[in-house]
Amino acid sequence: MEAYAVIETGGKQYRVQAGDTLNVEKLEAEIGASVELTNVLALSDGNELKIGTPMIAAAKVVATVKDQIRGEKIFNFKKKRRKGYTRKIGHRQSLTILAIESIA
């Protein structure tokens, strides 16, 4: 088995391996910059699994920012029948595309 880590960013948890690409909530970093994610919840070296309480102190995941994008448009529609009330709101979330370089 390959090494992997479970990280937390933007209120969500992701299982990542070296070489993965993932979309996360927007991080304040320039395109091409290196980012260290230190909120590591679990870490596996392929043989042994370490679980943090709640974080693993010495662990970090190094990633490179590939792009800053906006996600797909999500619509919220509300209606109350027989009252003539409708409401439609759209939302696009700002996202950061990360390429995972290494797990340390």
This prediction's pTM: 0.84
Q: Give me 46's structure tokens.
A: 């392929």
Give CA–CA dist 29/51, Å, rounded. 28
Digits of tens for pLDDT over the chain (104 positions)? 789 999 999 999 999 999 999 999 999 999 999 999 999 999 998 899 999 999 999 899 999 999 999 999 999 999 999 999 999 999 999 999 999 999 98
Break the chain into its structural domains and give their ranges. Answer: 4-103
